Structure 1
C-alpha cells in the first residue's frame, strides 16, 4: 500500500488514562509525532471522572502502580493498600509530570469521527471543536469502563432534586468534586454493582433516608483495606522489581495464583478453613486464589457461593433483606466481584431501605421522586450507579469507519472480531489498547495496559525500520484468534451471565446472542502469543 501524503501526526492516541498517557510517552520517546486527545480537562482517565465518595482501587495499590514499579516514579509511596481516588489521581499526575506528556495532549476535546482514507493511507480525524487532522496510526486507549450507562427513565427531566451518574459527580467552580452534604436528605442510589457498594455505606452515614434501588444483587466480599506504614512501604519499594515480575506471571496480573486443586479433591473441613482464610484476606483472594475449577464447574462454584451466601446471612440482621442481597441468577465470580467495606452491615441501619426493582421496576420519575406502582418514593438526590457500556462502548460513540466506509459498530454488531484484540481487519493501522479480546481488559489494567502499549510501540518501531506504513490482520489470523477467544469463554460459567464483559444482542426472532468482549486465556499466555507474533515478523498481519 503506497503512502501518498505525510499526515499531520504519526499517531493519535484517544484517552489520557494510565494506558493512554504511557502510549503517548513511548511513541514520543521513539521519535514519532503524536497527539493525545481527551474529553477531560487533564490526565487521569477513570480516576479523573469517577470522584464519588468511597471510590478506590480494588487492586492492591503496589500491584497496580506500573509507573512506580517500572521506575518512572520510583520514589512513589502509597498510603493505603487500596488507594482512594484522590491518591490515584495524584499518582497519575505525578507520572504525567515526570513523562512530560501534557504538551502532547489536546484536553477538553472529543474525537467525533475517524475515517480511514484508503487513497492516502491515513486516518481523517474530526474533533468536536471543528478541527480536522490526519494521522497514520490511530490508537484507542479509552478504557474498559468509561462510557457511562444512563437508563432512559420516563420523567427524569421532571425531577426537581439533583440527579447524576456516579462517574459525573457534581463539581464546584474550580472543577473539583463537590462535597455533597447528605444530612437531612432523602437519597436514592440506583445500582448495586462495584460502584454502588462503595457509595452506599458512605451516603448511609449521614442521609436522613437512603433508598437502595436494586435490580440484581452481586456477590460482594470484603476489601480489607488498611493504611501502609512507613516500614511496610519501605519494604514494598525495595521489592518493586520483584512485584512487577511476579504479577506478570499471574493470569490477571493481580498478586494471586489459583490453587491448583479441584474443589472436590479437598475435604470439607479443610475446604471451609481455606474459604475462611481467603474471605478474611484483603482483596480478590476469594475470587482469584481459590480452586482452579471455580469458573468451570457448577458444582464446585456452588460450594463457594453457598459459603459466601452464609456470610451475607451472618452480616445482615433481617433475614428477608439478606435473601434479597444474595444472587440467584449467576455463579460466584461469573461477574466482577465488588469489593466492599461494611456494605452488608449498612442494611442494618434504620435509615437504609432496600427496594427490589427487578420484581417491581421503576415506572417513572416525577417531580418529587421515583414512582413504583402506586407508591412514590420522595427523594432529594438520585445517584445513578448504573455502570458502563463496557469495553466497546466508548468506541461505539465515535464514528469510526474503515475500508469502503464500513462502520466499526456495524462490523462488530454481533460481537467483536479481532486479531490479538489489537486490530480488526478492514480497519488498517487502528490499534485498540485494553480493547475487546485482548490481554488487558480482563486484567489489572494498570500493568496489562502498559505492557500492551510497549508491544504496540515495538511493532510501530519495527514497521518504521522496515519502511512499512500499513498493517491489518489477515482474514485467517483474525478468524483463528476470534474463534479461539469465543471457544475459551464458552467453556466457563461466565458464558451465560449478563456481565459488562459480555455483549448481549436480542435478535428479531427472539433469540439472545451472548458474545464475550474479553479474552480469558490469561496474561502470560496472551503475552507469549504476542511475542511469538512479533518474533515471526508480525505473523498474521499484512504489512505494506
Structure 2
C-alpha cells in the first residue's frame, strides 16, 4: 500500500460518506465529495486504484471506447497534461491514467486499500450506515455510495473436479498481477465474449496449443486502432471542449450519435444501405453498432440485414467453412449482445495450433487431473483461462450482504425482483447510492466514463442539496421506484434485447430474475430525466 494511503486506525473509521470502489467512478466520487468539504473515505479490496483496470490485467485487455472520450472532464489541467498513446488504450495505459489522476489530486490519502466489505447495515435511529470488512473492521457514515461496478463480481462456473486439476486455473477478472507465462503451454480458454476474444487473439501465437471452448459465437467488429503522435494528440485536444459537450447528449455517451435519422433505412436502396454499413465498418469502432441505424435493436428486418453483413465479414476471414459456420451467430441479432471489437481474432482459427470446441450442445463435463472433458473426450491442458463473465449489475452489492430499513436484505430483494430508482437508489435503503447500479445506463449501452461521471455528479448534487436544506436522509418512495421500473421495462420491451439470452438480462446466472440490467433509453435522455428529478427538489423521494 502506498505510504500516503489512509492508515488503519480506530480513529479513522467515522466519516460523513463512504465510497466503496476506487476505479473510474470511485475516484471521481471521492474527489467530488471532498469538494463539498465532507470527511470521506474510499474503500477498495484491491491493493491500488484502478477498479476494472486493476483487476482485469489479462493478456490483451483493452478499452473499446476511443481514448478521447474515455476520460474525466472535470479538470482542464488534467486534459492538458495527460497524453493518450492509442485510439483504444490497452489495460496498462488505462491503469496508468487512473494512477496519474489519483496522484495529481491527492486521492490516495483518503483511500483504504486491501479492504473488502463483507456487510453493510443501516441504523435507523442513528441514521448512519455501518460497513464491516472481511478483516473485522467497522466504518460508519451518513452516506454509503457504492461505486463497486456493474461488472466486478466474477462468475466462476461450477465445473466439477476443479480441485483435482494439476494445472493452473485463472479467471480473467482475477488475473495474477505478476502475470502468467503461457509460452509453450497447452491453454484452454472458456468463453468467447469480449474478454475471451481479447485473450484468444493475443495468446494464440505464443502458446503450444490453444483450445477455445465456445458456447455462444459473437458478432465482433474489426477494430481500427491507431498509435497517436504529437500532431494527432494536439488535433484531438483542440476538440476536447466539443467532445465534453457532445457526450452529454448522445445516445451512448460517445462523441458520435446515430448516423441516420429514424426511417432513413427504409428510404435507402439495398445498395445504399450496404455502402453505408461498409463505411461504418471501416471506422473500426462501436460506431458500427451504436452510431448506425437507430432501428438496429428494435426492428427485426434491420437487425437481420446488419447481422448478415457481419456474418459475411466473419466467413471471409475463416479458411475452413465448417469452422466458419461455428463462429457465425444465428440465435440472436447483431447488437442485442455486447458487441466486441477484435483485431486478429477470426484469423486465429486458421492456425494449426488452435482448435474450436463447441460446447453449446455438448457442455463441459468437468475437470480431470490433466484437463477438461467435453463429450467424453479429454483435452489435456496446462492452463485453463476462465473468460466466463460476471454476475452483472447486482452481483457486487449482493455479495456485500447489505441490509436497509427494518433489516431488509438487498440480496433477498434482488433475488426476487431487480428494482431501483434511476439505477441510483433503492426503496428501503436510505442514503445508499448505487453508481452504475441495475437499471441505469452502464457498460451494456454506454461509454462508461460518460455515464459514470454523470451519475456521480447526480449523487454529489443530491448530497449537497440535503446538507444545504438541513436534511439527513433520502430514499425513493415505493411509488417513485415503480414509476422508474415501469418506464425502464417499457423501453426495454420495445427492443430486441429481451429476446436474447445473455448477461444483459441476467440470463447467465441460474435463478436470477430476468430484467434488462441497463437502461436503454439513451444516455442523453437519462441525463435529462435525472436533471428533472433534481430540479423538482427530488419529488417522489422520502426526505427527512
- Both structures adopt the same fold (TM-score exceeding 0.5): yes
Corresponding position of 2:517 = 517
Does residue 271 (structure 1) correspond to residue 277 (structure 2)? The answer is: no
Give per-residue Cα distances to partners, 1:150-178, cap 9 Å, x unaligned.
Answer: 1110011111111110112223xxxxx32
Corresponding position of 1:304 = 306
43 and 67 in structure 1: CA distance in 2 versus 1, 3 angstrom threshold: farther
Give secondary structure in 1 for the equivalent of 2:236. helix
Give secondary structure in 1 for the equivalent of 2:173. helix
Alignment check: 8 A CA contact 1:147 1:394 kept: yes
Report the aligned-residue RMSD.
1.7
Shift of 1:398: 0.5
Alignment check: 8 A CA contact 1:415 1:517 kept: no
Does residue 397 (structure 1) correspond to residue 399 (structure 2)? The answer is: yes
Q: Pick which of 496-505 and 405-414 moved more.
A: 496-505
Corresponding position of 2:409 = 407
Does residue 178 (structure 1) correspond to residue 179 (structure 2)? The answer is: yes
CA distance in structure 2 between the aligned counterparts of 1:414 and 1:521, rounded to whole angstroms: 24
491 and 13 in structure 1: CA distance in 2 versus 1, 3 angstrom threshold: same
CA distance in structure 2 between the aligned counterparts of 1:417 and 1:181, rounded to whole angstroms: 43
Shift of 1:534: 1.1
Q: Structure 2 matches for 1:238-277, cutoff 5 A? A: 238-258=238-258, 259-262=260-263, 263-277=265-279
CA distance in structure 2 between the aligned counterparts of 1:194 and 1:433, rounded to whole angstroms: 23
271 and 190 in structure 1: CA distance in 2 versus 1, 3 angstrom threshold: same
Give per-residue Cα distances to partners, 1:478-529, cap 9 Å, x unaligned.
Answer: 1111111011101100012122221349999xxx962111111111111111
CA distance in structure 2 between the aligned counterparts of 1:159 and 1:70, rounded to whole angstroms: 52
Shift of 1:423: 0.7
Shift of 1:325: 0.6
Alignment check: 8 A CA contact 2:418 2:513 kept: no
Name which of 480, 483, 491 aligns with 1:480: 483
Name which of 56, 59, 78 aligns with 2:62: 56
Give secondary structure in 2 for the equivalent of 1:311. helix
Shift of 1:453: 0.9
Corresponding position of 2:229 = 229
CA distance in structure 2 between the aligned counterparts of 1:279 and 1:157, rounded to whole angstroms: 45
Corresponding position of 2:21 = 15
Corresponding position of 2:84 = 78
Alignment check: 8 A CA contact 1:123 1:137 kept: yes
Alignment check: 8 A CA contact 1:368 1:378 kept: yes
Corresponding position of 1:285 = 287
Alignment check: 8 A CA contact 2:253 2:523 kept: yes
Shift of 1:69: 6.8
Does residue 93 (structure 1) correspond to residue 96 (structure 2)? The answer is: no
Q: Structure 2: which 5+ runs fail to align? A: 1-12
Corresponding position of 1:153 = 159
Corresponding position of 1:334 = 336
Shift of 1:356: 0.3
464 and 535 in structure 1: CA distance in 2 versus 1, 3 angstrom threshold: same
329 and 415 in structure 1: CA distance in 2 versus 1, 3 angstrom threshold: farther
Give secondary structure in 1 for the equivalent of 2:17. strand
Shift of 1:289: 1.6
Does residue 38 (structure 1) correspond to residue 39 (structure 2)? The answer is: no
Corresponding position of 1:452 = 455
- Number of equivalent positions: 529
Alignment check: 8 A CA contact 1:505 1:514 kept: no
CA distance in structure 2 between the aligned counterparts of 1:130 and 1:39, rounded to whole angstroms: 14
Does residue 471 (structure 1) correspond to residue 474 (structure 2)? The answer is: yes
Corresponding position of 1:435 = 437
281 and 476 in structure 1: CA distance in 2 versus 1, 3 angstrom threshold: same
Corresponding position of 1:3 = none
Corresponding position of 1:543 = 543
CA distance in structure 1 between the aligned counterparts of 2:179 and 2:286, rounded to whole angstroms: 31
Q: TM-score by structure 1 length?
A: 0.94
Alignment check: 8 A CA contact 1:305 1:331 kept: yes
Shift of 1:62: 0.8
Alignment check: 8 A CA contact 1:68 1:240 kept: no
Shift of 1:84: 0.4
Alignment check: 8 A CA contact 1:428 1:471 kept: yes
122 and 501 in structure 1: CA distance in 2 versus 1, 3 angstrom threshold: same
Alignment check: 8 A CA contact 1:70 1:241 kept: no
CA distance in structure 2 between the aligned counterparts of 1:524 and 1:49, rounded to whole angstroms: 30
Corresponding position of 2:382 = 380
Give per-residue Cα distances to partners, 1:76-124, cap 9 Å, x unaligned.
Answer: 1111000000000110001111121111111001111101111111112
CA distance in structure 1 between the aligned counterparts of 2:286 and 2:277, rounded to whole angstroms: 12
Alignment check: 8 A CA contact 1:415 1:516 kept: no
Does residue 207 (structure 1) correspond to residue 207 (structure 2)? The answer is: yes
> Which of structure 1's runs of 4+ aligned residues deviate more than 3 A?
67-73, 439-442, 504-508
49 and 88 in structure 1: CA distance in 2 versus 1, 3 angstrom threshold: same
CA distance in structure 1 between the aligned counterparts of 2:130 and 2:359, rounded to whole angstroms: 45
Corresponding position of 1:174 = none
Alignment check: 8 A CA contact 2:221 2:284 kept: no
Give secondary structure in 1 for the equivalent of 2:533. helix
